[in-house]
A and B are shown apart, each in its own frame.
Chain A
Amino acid sequence: MRRRIAAAFAWLWRYAVAGLILRHSKKRTVRRERELPASTRAETWTAVLLFAAALAGLAFVAIYAFDDANTQLLGLSIAVALALLAAALILAAAHVVPQETLEEPRPPFTHVDGTKTQGGLEFSSRQPYEEAALGLREGGDGVTRRGLLGAAGVAAGVGIGAAALVPLASLGPAVGNRLAASPWKDGVRLVEENGMPVQVDDLAVGSFLTAFAEGADKEELAASLAVVRVRPEELELPADRADWAPEGILAFSKICTHAQCAVSLFRYPLFAERSPGPALVCPCHYSTFNVLDGGERIFGPAVRPLPQLPLRIEDGALVAAGPLSGPVGASWGRVREEG
């Protein structure tokens, strides 16, 4: 019974809508302006452009086949071919094919308050979304324990959804102490990129050298150091680091504490009265670290100082006298607990 009433309603509403649309659309005259501009001249030029495009395309093939990868000629030939094609298409669009301006009615959309708008005309009737809602509701006819089934469905969705997402954790290990890992401890020798120990005599005042922990993977974030040498009397190290820089040689982690780029610039004043003091600079966001006071930030977005490595000299070569003064790399939640 209910279904029959629904069907009757559906028919009624379809006739009503159809009638209204027909009445409405009869009133409007759909405008159409059309002219035929085709001239033999425009057609000829279009053909010329297309033939020229074909030639340029073939030129690309020829260059590809015979020339030795001349990127400029290859690019130019295909670009000319495409440009000629574009010119032909645009010319044809404007001067060969019929020029037409057409008025088309928009499909009416249902308005929130249940009225349809078309050309300022508003009318109420059964709306498509009501039809859809009715259809969906009918799917539950005769079902008694809706609440229970709904809750069970949500539970299944959550459970299976969680099961679907959890394997993403396989992508990476748990964070653990990974972000604090460092090869530096007392007695580790500093080596150059070629694996040779860093000799004190090779370092002039004002010089800059990239060093690594002996035996460590150079790609490990904490393995690389920026080693610089200043005059010992310039140093302003805190008291607890007084013996960290033998003969004015300082070593810092080479990885910026802001965003992990390599701190690869060292400025050393040539004329101390007029220049800013010696500092390591990161080229990514220009965080600048004063080397004299143990890597404190003096400019830029970095917040933590550059971790410093205590040094000592054994047989003229540099050796770590302890671990780095802080965690290497960008900050994260537990970065300060690790220091």
Chain B
Amino acid sequence: MPLTTRRVLRTVETRTGGTGALAKALRYVFPDHWTFLFGEIAMYSFLILVATGTYLALFFEPSTAHVVYHGAYAPLRGQEMTKAYASAVDLSFEVQAGLLIRQVHHWAADLFLAAITVHLLRIFFTGAFRKPRDVNYYVGLTMLVLAVVEGYVGYSLLDDLLSGMGLAIGNAVALSVPVVGGQLGVLLWGGRFPGAPDFLSRLFFVHVFVFPLLIGTLMAVHLALIARPHHTQFRGRGRTEANVVGTPMWPAYALRSLGLFAATAAILFALGGLVQINPIWQWGPYEPYLGTNGAQPDWYLGWLIGALRLMPHFDVVIGDYTLIPNPFWGGVLFPGAVFGFLYLWPTIERRWLGDRRPHNLLDRPRDNPTRTAIGAAVFTFVATVFFAGAADRAFVQFGVPYEEQLWGYRVLAILLPVAVFFAARGICRRLREGGAHPARDSGARLVERPRSVNRISGRS
């Protein structure tokens, strides 16, 4: 008797009783819009990170024990270095496909953070964070925080010069926490920087187990909390607060999404194979007394190095006691304020507008000019600080003096968000009145307005 789908499913049903759920899942509806794909790209990047990371962990040795390098890369031969750095260099040169996988892992981390960030912007500007999805929005934000730290910990593991410089700054930021900073820095590092020999293996465990587990768990919760109330959708023909219109999971959506997975992986492997990233053998091993000019972190920490560089030089000192050392402003307060804003925004908006109803239909950015303007202003502020972090590269490339750039960025960081706030609010209001589409129309003429006809339940 041939093994038919029906027979397999009958077997599953009699053992688990779960085929009903499968049947339902096959008909689960995904609304169609290209902006809904960023979250999927982030999820697929995470899967690639886990797969490539597992491979790397088979070769990497997180040890600060010193060895003399005798490997394939001639310029480093005879140098003393930690086993961690030596194994990372060996993994790059002597493990077949090792460099490919390492570079794919690094690119995937950069894409993971980029996809989450764009996904977050989409969620923010379309009001998708509103009830009943506010809790899921907090879950997503928490994953972003974890992912930033996970990325930082990841490239700090290799004990090359750049990772050591990053850890030196991280330690200074830990020390700068008011009151408990000194103890915190000593506790996390197992002593004064550069820390106890155990520090690196702890960092390794955190990177390969603790954070991936947390992110994976939160991702499962995130998906469950998406599926329960179903996806949001934009307004359109036949779309209401009470239904969801789109492509069912099977077969078209599943194929399309797997296609996206394959495309994401294809781009990451092409980048990993063809575009060099973090050539650790060029930086050399880290020692606290070594530094290199023009050092830049991975892009998702650019806003923090920008803040550390942009902040004017002052500590809060009471008598002899340094209550708030300088790195606190850029390293703790700035990211804390940005994430604080993001965490609080659903509550602020709910209180402010008095809108406690659940929403399943999305806003277009113009539909809520104030939210869009505030979001655009905060984004502009962060982006300005981000670019300030690259002022040294701009100095090398374009010769603009560093000190003048820094003062320019300080002024811009205050003025630009204000300008963007009013510009964005004005544009949103005009678009709303004119009914034009910014991408499709010049905005000069009035077009037909199908949306007022199709709006089944008004904005509440």
Contacts and interface: CB of A to CB of B under 8 A. Distances in A.
Given A172-B190, A262-B288, 5 more contacts: A75-B270, A171-B188, A224-B289, A284-B169, A284-B295
A83 to B, nearest CB: 4
Interface residues of B, number: 106
Contacts, number: 309
A207 B401 CA distance: 24
A127 B204 CA distance: 48
A106 interface: yes
Contact of A75 (B98, B192, B269): B269
B230 A107 contact: yes
Interface stretch (B2-10, B209-217, B253-261, B336-344): B253-261
B273 A79 contact: yes
B273 A76 contact: yes
Interface residues of A, number: 93
B14 interface: no
Interface stretch (A134-142, A253-261, A311-319): A253-261
Contacts of B294: 283
Given A174-B186, A255-B288, A301 B267 contact: no
B358 A117 contact: yes
Interface string A102-140: 111111110110000111100000000000000000000
Interface in A280-339: 282-287, 297, 299-303, 329-337
Interface stretch (B15-23, B148-156, B170-178): B170-178
A86 B266 contact: yes
A148 B342 CA distance: 40
Contacts of A282: 291
Contacts of B269: 75, 78-79, 82
Interface in B207-259: 228-230, 238, 240-248, 251-253, 255-256, 258-259
A220 B230 CA distance: 56
A97 interface: yes
Interface in B176-201: 176, 178-179, 181-183, 185-194, 196
Nearest to A300: B313
A199 interface: no
B272 interface: yes
B179 A333 contact: yes
B298 interface: no
Contacts of A285: 305, 308-309
Contacts of A335: 322, 325
* Closest CB pairs A-B (n = 9): A75-B273, A89-B259, A224-B289, A330-B172, A119-B242, A331-B325, A82-B266, A262-B291, A86-B262
25 contacts: A69-B99, A71-B103, A72-B274, A73-B273, A74-B100, A75-B103, A75-B270, A98-B252, A102-B247, A103-B238, A107-B230, A174-B183, A174-B186, A210-B289, A212-B289, A224-B288, A255-B289, A258-B172, A265-B293, A285-B305, A301-B308, A301-B313, A303-B315, A330-B171, A333-B321
